[in-house]
Structure formats: C-alpha cells, structure tokens
Amino acid sequence: MTDARTPTLSVRELRVEFPATERGATVKAVDGVSFDILKGETFGLIGESGSGKTTIGRAVVHLVEPTAGTILHDGVDPATLSSRDFRAARRAWQIVFQDPNAALNPRSTILTSVMEPLAILGVGSAAERRLAAMRALARVGLPEEIGARYPHQLSGGQKQRVVIARTLTLKPELIVCDEVVAALDMSIRGDVLNLFAELQRELGLTYLFITHDLSVVSHISDRIAVAYLGRLVELGPAEAVTESAIHPYTRALLSAEPAPLPSHMRTGKRILLEGEIPSPINPPSGCHFRTRCGHAVDLCAQRAPEWREIVRGHWAACHFAEQFSGEKNEVGNKAGATLMGG
Amino acid sequence: MQTAPDIRAAQSAPLLDVQGMSISFATAGGRLEATRDITFAVAPGERIGVVGESGCGKTITGLSLLRLLPEDVAHISGRLDFMGVDLATCSEAALRDIRGKRIGMIFQEPMSALDPVFTVGDQIAEGLLAHGRMSRAEARERALEALRSVGIAAPEKRFHAYPHQLSGGMRQRVMIAGAMICNPQLLIADEPTTALDVTVQAQILELLRDLSDRAHMALLFITHDLGVVAETCTRMLTMYAGEIVEDAGVDAALEHPLHPYTSGLLRALPRLSERRSALPSIPGRVPVLGQMPEGCRFRQRCPFAIDGCERPQPLQDAGAGRRVRCWRFRDLDLPGVAA
C-alpha cells in the first residue's frame, strides 16, 4: 500500500450482500473490505468458512456484483465500461476453482475444453486456437496425448493443470486462485504450487490466492490478508503476519494449525477459540471477532475497530493493535522447522 | 526413545490384534485385492494414526474392522482379534454386541451419518437402548450427559434439535457423543476433522485426546494430515497401495522416517520448506487396483529404487519397536523434520 509499484487491483470499501431465506434479512458476505494488489505479487487471502474470502474473489473477477464499493483494475472501474469493452477487458482477470471436475465438461475432450474460451471470444482461426491450446497444455507440463482424453481419464492433479492451461490461453494478468490445491493429495500439492510459481516468474502473473490452509498461503504469498466474518482483520508481509501477527484472531488461527512436529519441538502455546464463527446475517456489534476473543472489553462491542496501518505495511483492525504489535508470537513453530539429512 | 513405552504396551496386552488382514473385492474383471497383509496391534488407550494418500486403503481398513463393507462383494481374510473375538469370522449377533458398544466409529461428514428426521438426542440415546437394558428416561439422562461431555452448551435444548439446525462442528460433537455413549474401548475416527475449519478442528482434536485420556479409550485415527497425527497420536502407521509400509512412534517417524514414502510425505509439507522455494513432491500416483507392481509397490515413485526392489517386501522388524517394508532401510538416511 505504500509500495512504489502501482496496484494492478484496487478494492475499496467493498460490500457484497445476498438476500437470506429469512424474510427481509441479508447476508453480509463482505462487509467493507479495502486492499491493493501489486503487479506481479502473490496476495494470499486466508479465512475460515463464512469469512467472505470466496465472495471477495468472485467480486474481483465480476462474477458477483458488489452491493457497494469500487473495484479498479489498473485504475479502471469495469462497471463503467460498455459491455463490449468489458468483455475485452475481462480476459485479463481469470479465476481457477477448487474442484477441476466441476470446471471441466465430462463430455468434452481436454483439448476442446481448453480451446473453448478462445472460441467464445472468437480469437483466431480454429487452427490457431488449437495450436494455442496445445501450447498451453505443454506449458503446464502435460503430454500432448492428454488433449484427446476425457476428464475422467486424468488424475486430480492433471485436471487442475488442464484448468490452469485453459486460463493461460487468455493471457491473463491477474488470476484468482480459490482453494486450488485443497482437493489434491498432499504429495502432488507441491507440484501444482510449483507450477503457479513458475508461471508467475515467466509470465509476470499476479495472484489473489484464496485458501484456508495456512501452510500453503504462508509458503507462496508475498503478502497475506486475514478475513473474518466479512471483514479484513489483518494484512501485511507474509513473514510479519505469520511470525508477528497483531490481531488476536490471526494468532488463534496460527496456533490452531496442527504442526507436523515431534513433541519436543512443539513449544507453541495453543490459543483455543470457543465456539464457531457467528452468522453473517446477524454479526456481532462492534468488532466481529469479539464474541470469541479472549481480550474483548466493552469498547469492542460498542465500536468497530478502525482499519489502520500499525507498522509500515502491516495493517490491522483491533482496538488494541498498537499494544499487541511487536510481540513475538508464542504460537506455532513457524521458523524453527527445516528439513534435515538426506 | 520417548515412544517406547507405548509400543511395549501394544506388544504385551493388545486390545485389537490384526494379523494378515487382506480385503478383496469381487468385480466383473475378477477378484481385486484392495489391502494386503495388514498386521498391527492396538493397546488399550493407545492412539494410532493411519496416514497415506487417497487410495492407499486407510478407509477400507477402518470399515473392515467393523465389517461395514458389503459382504457380498468384499471378502476379508486374516484374523481380527478384538478381546478374544475374531471380528472377521464371528456371527452377526456377536458383532452387533461389539459395534457401537465396544468399538465406536465416526466419519468425515456428520451430516450424512446423522439421520435428518430424528432429533440428535434420540439418535444418541438409540445406541444405549439398542445395547443396554434401561428405561427411556435413563437413556435420556445419559444422552444429556454425553452431550455435556463433548462440550455442547445447553444440552437440554440441543437434545431436541435436528441435525440441520446445528453447525458442522456441533454435528461432529454430536457424532462423538453418540459414539462415546456406550464407553467403547476403541474409537475408529475416519478423517473426523477434515471438513471442519481449523479453529473448530483444534477444538475437536482436543476433545478426542481428552476423552481418550479420561476413558482410557484407544483411538484409530485415519487421516491424510500428518499435523493432526502429530498432535493427537502416539504411533503412526503409514499405508501405501493397500499395505502398511511403516509402523513407528509418531516422534520417531517424523524425525527419522525409515520408509521413503513416509519421508516423501513429510517433505511435501509446505511448512517445512523455505518460503517460496520449490516444494518437493512425490512424482506419479498410487497404482490402481489390479495393476500393482511386483515387489515394492512404491518403487516406481521411489527415488531410492534399485535392482532388488522388485523382490517381495516383508514388513520387517527395524528395532526399537519399529517396522518397515523396505529392504534398504538400513542403507538410507532419510530426511524427516528436525529443529
């Protein structure tokens, strides 16, 4: 936010509401969120179910319409474009979902699926589209013969590569990755994450990486934002957020992650949160997290904490953020663990 | 070694003793072996994690222990000795006396395990009424107590709730209350926290550990998450392609894995790699049923495979209460996690 680079995406006071089944009630899925994503960076967005992270991602690529607020892509609000210009601009921002099975037509061959977006946009001749699709498949590390196959003949990891290849045919600048490795086995998650990193280096891609998995987000992100019940509670450089988190929710989240470490290495103190995330139909007054926060006082119910920069580049929304900042986290063992031997 | 007492306990007086269990399925293309030569013991109160990728036979192994696979297609061979009863061959009546009473089971998705048209109180009390002779009033009291013991606030109110009125974490607590109501000696938990948020998962893991300690209940914890095993269990069985490839205390397995597959799973964890560095992975995929390679089933994906790996691999004693299915384990110094 204080970086000299220009943001490729600028989100200001974003609000997304959905009608609830109960009469007259609304679900405040996103309740006033602001952030910038810089060109070429990986911006991690983490949160539990109900945090609004998926809705933020969809709003960014205009799959859901904001109730209020602005979303600027390279300084332009797509909502102001004519539908023709909007379609042309939209190529630049793409989204990849968790489940590649749902994203691929079971009755189409892989090559047909990968060519489809170009066909819809009417780019090039059929032969050119075919070539572009084959190049994209090769680019994500799939052998040529995969193109003739059907989704059910591929493994989960291969299918996710196909979806990435399809996205690449459009030459996007920003890709929203929504839980893209959550459905994959541990042993191949690394492959897919490595592919994202490689593509970023070579093509200068920008990622909004949405996940509930802390180890994934802290591994690949430059900066991390933490969402809770429709709002951001913390945002900062990945190291700062994982090693000196300010917000009590971030700290609890970090400490809740099960650490694959032997007993003598788990020095971290666990902060066990009570209860579960409240309903976004009727969120708590003031600070949304106060009902589960061990530090909550009367003030937290009366007034929503201001979203402010606590340390350079490190933002938080907590009345006591200044007091908490600078404390080294006693949770987890983030930095201590490395591989040995072999 | 910190975990030695647990392993000794397992050897002296097992609660469950599985010997050479194989599970095969009848298919149009003939009989397919899903697991082979599964041998392990569970001591009273012991907590064992079963890990491996999808398709390695973890779930099938858990289901077989209670004979929950359809008997017309699934065939179980070997011995499954639970306190003197062979679960593989005992009568349905004998099995009914064990299922839900002495061995409980919980699953990943509580919504599909709970009946949507009955209140949760009724479903918890059902186990008691089926197994014990008691009045409905007594069963209700016990069910309320069970709801309280799994940390459900206002159990009198929740007793009359239907599953859809509860959150995911609450439903899993109800499942656990139902599984615990008859005080089983063994609880089989198949990915019980995979569908839950991480802060709720932490609550449920704490609850399972606590219940196991208090009631001296053994736990067979099936999961793909090595972090969950490290926090919950004392021993870890690594499964690959239907076989146990490693059996060790959790700390020992994490620090000095003896099987290349266990080591590969550990190395693939993002938290153990330097930020933004390339993540190691295990190339290839688990072989499908009916196309198992000869000898070591992992050798096509193993960076240490040499001539000789195509020979049959027994699960051999590796000393210090450990077992490993790799003939090269003494020559390999495999990376694990360390400070």
Q: What is the pLDDT of residues B97-149, one digit of tens each?
A: 999 899 999 988 888 889 999 999 999 998 888 887 889 899 999 999 999 88
> Alpha-carbon dihedral of residues B64, B69, B70, B75, nearest 10 degrees?
-40
Tokens representing residue A327 in the block: 């404390």
Query: Which residues, including other chains, have CB under 8 Å from residue B89's CB and lie 6 or more apart?
Result: none
How far does the CA of residue B64 sit from the closest CA of chain A (Å)? 23
Whether residue A150 is contained in a domain is answered as yes
Measured distance CA(B85)–CA(B293) in Å, rounded: 35
How far does the CA of residue B180 sit from the closest CA of chain A (Å)? 21
Give alpha helix (H) positions in A5-140: 53-60, 83-90, 100-103, 110-121, 126-139
| Nearest CB partner across the interface for A339, out of B265, B267, B275 | B267
CB contact under 8 A, A256 and B202: yes
Q: Tell me: do A277 and A204 sit in the same domain.
A: yes
Tokens representing residue B53 in the block: 């990728």
Q: For position B220, what pLDDT does the model report? A: 97
A-facing residues of B in 103-142 (CB < 8 A) are none
Q: Enumerate the β-bridge partners of residue B50.
A: B222, B237
Q: Tell me: do A247 and A151 sit in the same domain.
A: no
- State pTM to two decimals: 0.88
Radius of gyration of chain A (CA): 21
Segment holding A242, helix H or strand E: helix A238-243
Q: Write down which residue in A170, A201, A218 finishes a domain.
A: A170
B-facing residues of A in 35-74 (CB < 8 A) are 48-49
| Residue A150 main-chain phi, psi, to 5 deg | -110, 155
Whether residue A330 is contained in a domain is answered as no
Higher-confidence residue: B324 or A87? B324
CB contacts of B207 in chain A (<8 Å) are none
Q: Tell me: do A139 and A114 sit in the same domain.
A: yes
Average pLDDT (B253-281) is 89
Domain extent at residue A80: 7-92+172-261+269-324
CB contact under 8 A, A342 and B263: yes
The answer to whether A19 and A3 have CB atoms below 8 angstroms apart is: no
Q: For position B94, what pLDDT does the model report? A: 94
Is 70 exceeded by the pLDDT of residue A337?
no
CB contact under 8 A, B285 and A197: no
Average pLDDT (B143-161) is 90
Is 50 exceeded by the pLDDT of residue A236?
yes
Give alpha helix (H) positions in chain B: 4-12, 58-65, 92-98, 110-113, 120-131, 136-149, 155-158, 168-180, 198-215, 226-232, 250-255, 260-267
Q: For position A334, what pLDDT does the model report? A: 40
Q: For position A4, what pLDDT does the model report? A: 56
Is 80 exceeded by the pLDDT of residue B336?
yes
Q: For position B196, what pLDDT does the model report? A: 85
Is 80 exceeded by the pLDDT of residue A339?
no
Average pLDDT (A292-300) is 95
CB contacts of A209 in chain B (<8 Å) are none
Q: Tell me: do A285 and A227 sit in the same domain.
A: yes
Average pLDDT (A60-65) is 94
CB contacts of A341 in chain B (<8 Å) are 333-336, 338
Buried b (16+ CB within 10 A) or exposed e, A172-208: bbbbbbbbbbebbbbbbbbbbbbbbbebbeeeebbbb
Q: Tell me: do A152 and A128 sit in the same domain.
A: yes
Measured distance CA(B155)–CA(B153) in Å, rounded: 6
What 3-state DSSP class applies to B162?
Answer: coil
> What is the average pLDDT value for chain B, to the nearest integer?
91
Q: For position B284, what pLDDT does the model report? A: 85
Q: For position A340, what pLDDT does the model report? A: 32
Q: For position A187, what pLDDT does the model report? A: 84
CB contacts of A342 in chain B (<8 Å) are 263, 333-335
Model confidence pLDDT, tens digit, residues B214-223:
999 999 999 9
Q: Tell me: do A36 and A109 sit in the same domain.
A: no
Count structural domains, chain A. Answer: 2
A-facing residues of B in 42-61 (CB < 8 A) are 53-54
The closest of A126, A4, A14, A28 to A59, measured between CA atoms, is A14
Q: For position A280, what pLDDT does the model report? A: 87
The answer to whether B285 and B270 have CB atoms below 8 angstroms apart is: no
Buried b (16+ CB within 10 A) or exposed e, B301-314: bbeebeeebeeebe
Average pLDDT (A242-266) is 91
Whether residue A97 is contained in a domain is answered as no
Tokens representing residue B3 in the block: 């975990």
B228 touches chain A (CB under 8 A): yes
Burial of residue A93 (CB within 10 Å: 0-12, 13-18, 19+) is buried
Q: For position B272, what pLDDT does the model report? A: 65
Is 60 exceeded by the pLDDT of residue B339?
no
Confidence class for position A335, pLDDT limits 50, 70, 90: very low
Measured distance CA(A197)–CA(A176) in Å, rounded: 14
Q: Tell me: do A292 and A208 sit in the same domain.
A: yes
Whether residue A188 is contained in a domain is answered as yes
The answer to whether A231 and A45 have CB atoms below 8 angstroms apart is: no
Q: Write down which residue in A170, A197, A216 finishes a domain.
A: A170
Whether residue A234 is contained in a domain is answered as yes
Q: Tell me: do A61 and A137 sit in the same domain.
A: no
CB contacts of B210 in chain A (<8 Å) are none
| Nearest CB partner across the interface for B251, out of A238, A262, A339 | A262
CB contacts of B225 in chain A (<8 Å) are 258
A194 touches chain B (CB under 8 A): yes
B-facing residues of A in 218-237 (CB < 8 A) are 218-220
CB contact under 8 A, A212 and B197: yes
B206 touches chain A (CB under 8 A): yes
Model confidence pLDDT, tens digit, residues B160-177:
999 999 888 889 999 999
Is 70 exceeded by the pLDDT of residue B204?
yes
Q: Enumerate the β-bridge partners of residue A26.
A: A19
Q: For position A61, what pLDDT does the model report? A: 95
Q: How many of the other CB atoms lie within 10 Å of CB of A113?
A: 23
CATH number reported for the structural domain that contains residue A34 in this entry: 3.40.50.300
| Nearest CB partner across the interface for B198, out of A191, A253, A265 | A253
Q: For position A336, what pLDDT does the model report? A: 35
CB contact under 8 A, B255 and A339: no
Confidence class for position A329, pLDDT limits 50, 70, 90: low
Q: Which domains does chain B have, with CATH numbers?
A: 4-102+184-324 (3.40.50.300)
B254 touches chain A (CB under 8 A): yes
Which residue, chain included where needed, has tokens 């992270």? A53
> What is the average pLDDT value for chain A, to the nearest integer?
90
The answer to whether A292 and A300 have CB atoms below 8 angstroms apart is: no
The answer to whether B174 and B106 have CB atoms below 8 angstroms apart is: no
Q: Tell me: do A79 and A137 sit in the same domain.
A: no
CB contacts of B333 in chain A (<8 Å) are 341-342
Is 50 exceeded by the pLDDT of residue A151?
yes
Measured distance CA(A123)–CA(A116) in Å, rounded: 10
Model confidence pLDDT, tens digit, residues B10-23:
456 899 999 999 99
The answer to whether A216 and B268 have CB atoms below 8 angstroms apart is: no
Is 90 exceeded by the pLDDT of residue B337?
no
Q: Tell me: do A276 and A318 sit in the same domain.
A: yes
Whether residue A331 is contained in a domain is answered as no
Measured distance CA(A220)–CA(A44) in Å, rounded: 8
Average pLDDT (B206-213) is 93
Model confidence pLDDT, tens digit, residues B53-109:
988 999 999 999 999 999 899 999 999 999 999 999 999 999 999 998 999 999 888
Q: Tell me: do A86 and A179 sit in the same domain.
A: yes
Q: Tell me: do A215 and A130 sit in the same domain.
A: no
